[in-house]
Amino acid sequence: MEFLLSGFTQLENIRQYSFDAVGQDRVRQQVTVGADLGLIHRYGIKLQELPLLCRRLLEKRGSIEATMFAESDMMQYSNERAAELEALKEKRRDHPRPVSNRVGHAWRGSFPAPGGEVKPID
């Protein structure tokens, strides 16, 4: 099943995303996913991420029915993202860059002598 975003509407603090669910037979059915905009700020979710998160929710559930991107889903996404960021920080910490024994060699190269002849600097 493929879910294609077809638009959204907003009533007060709830944004409803409409998706076309396209099956193997290419028949389209419309399904909506609502999200509370007050909660996304609490969990550090950006407004631009919501359509993709709602589509992911539909794909995970595999059912064609109106649903809500609930606080528990937001909390789970926030925790997963925090764990990924922490793993990236640890990965960067684990691999310090070695100090090269050639530091400064790039600017200590050869320079042309007066007359066009290249002589290395000692």
Digits of tens for pLDDT over the chain (122 positions)? 889 999 999 999 999 999 998 888 888 889 999 999 989 888 889 999 999 999 999 988 877 778 888 889 999 999 998 899 888 887 776 656 666 666 655 555 555 556 656 556 65
Q: Measuring CA to CA, how many Å separate 59 from each of 34, 75, 110?
A: 15, 18, 62
Per-residue confidence (pLDDT) for residue 118, from 0 to 100: 57
The whole-number pLDDT of residue 106 equals 58
CB neighbour list of residue 113: distance below 8 Å, 6 or more residues apart: 119
Two structure tokens written together for 113: 């002598």
- Residue 65's pLDDT is 79
**CA gyration radius for the chain?**
27
**pLDDT for position 105:** 59
CA 87 – CA 94 distance, rounded (Å): 10
Whole-prediction pTM: 0.65
